[in-house]
């Protein structure tokens, strides 16, 4: 794990609400919701990786 995130009570409550909503969108199936989140995070990570690659100087 690269980074540990610490949440206060208010943030934890907000995160719990979002998680429950996301699972509800997947008909209450937490495994299905987790799989979609993994796919979404993979796409976002690819975009971040692309943005962080130094661009070659124009000649």
> Domain ranges in the chain?
9-52
- Compute the distance between CA of residue 24 and CA of residue 21 in angstroms, rounded to an integer: 5
- Compute the distance between CA of residue 44 and CA of residue 37 in angstroms, rounded to an integer: 10
- Compute the distance between CA of residue 41 and CA of residue 36 in angstroms, rounded to an integer: 9
* Cβ atoms < 10 Å from Cβ of 26: 15
Q: Which residue has the higher pLDDT, 3 or 16?
A: 16
The mean pLDDT of the chain is: 89
Instruction: Dig out the tokens for 15 from the structure.
Output: 């995160």
pTM of full prediction above 0.85: no
């Amino acid at each position: 794990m690269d980074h540990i995130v610490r949440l206060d009570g208010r943030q934890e409550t907000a995160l719990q609400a979002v998680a429950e909503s996301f699972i509800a969108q997947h008909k209450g199936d937490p495994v299905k919701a987790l799989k979609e989140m993994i796919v979404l995070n993979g796409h976002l990570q690819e975009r971040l990786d692309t943005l962080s690659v130094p661009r070659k100087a124009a000649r």
